[in-house]
Amino acid sequence: MSPVDPKACLIVDDSRIIRKVARRILEDLAFEVQEAADGAEALEACVAAMPDVVLLDWQMPIMDGLTFLSRLRALPDGRRPKVLFCSVETRPDRIAEALSAGADEYVMKPFDGDILQSKLAEVGVIQSPS
């Protein structure tokens, strides 16, 4: 049996601490992780190598999450990555806005490994924990 190729995840967040926490969780789930501090940096990373999953913050300098998401989805192959919006935004209309803009799932900050793992399973990127 051949080993499964590790999935690539791009963490897009202006908080170094959030990126560090998310990286630890994702690496424990056998993801190859890349980081970007804003949407513009993330877009460059996606053009260079499209990830399987994008963990995306909403409020960032230079380019916010929604702008990044619409530009990502417009790229060739930009519909392929599963996008999980990660935000402190809790208003239902804002969550609906993120989902209608092309996000696959929504994760409230702060999140932990169990929450992230269950959301990744919900979008079909990993097997659900037994």
How far apart, in whole angstroms, are the C-alpha atoms of residue 125 and residue 128? 9
Q: Which secondary structure element, helix H or strand E, spans residue 116, and what is its range? A: helix 113-122
Q: Which secondary structure element, helix H or strand E, spans residue 11, and what is its range? A: strand 8-12
Question: pTM higher than 0.75, yes or no?
Answer: yes
Residues 72-130: pLDDT tens digits? Answer: 999 999 999 999 999 998 899 999 999 999 999 999 999 999 999 999 999 999 987 66
Please report where in the chains the tokens 């916010």 appear, as a residue.
64
Residues in the chain: 130
What is the predicted pLDDT for the residue at 48? 97
Q: What is the DSSP string of 23-59?
A: HHHHHHTT-EEEEESSHHHHHHHHHHS--SEEEEESS
CA 89 from chain centre, in angstroms, equals 15
Residues 54-69: pLDDT tens digits? Answer: 999 999 999 999 999 9
Q: How confident is the model at residue 10 (pLDDT cuts 50, 70, 90)?
A: very high
Tell which wins on pLDDT, 39 or 4.
Answer: 39
What is the predicted pLDDT for the residue at 2? 35
Q: How confident is the model at residue 45 (pLDDT cuts 50, 70, 90)?
A: very high
CA angle 96, 97, 98 (to 5 degrees): 90
pLDDT at 3 over 50: no
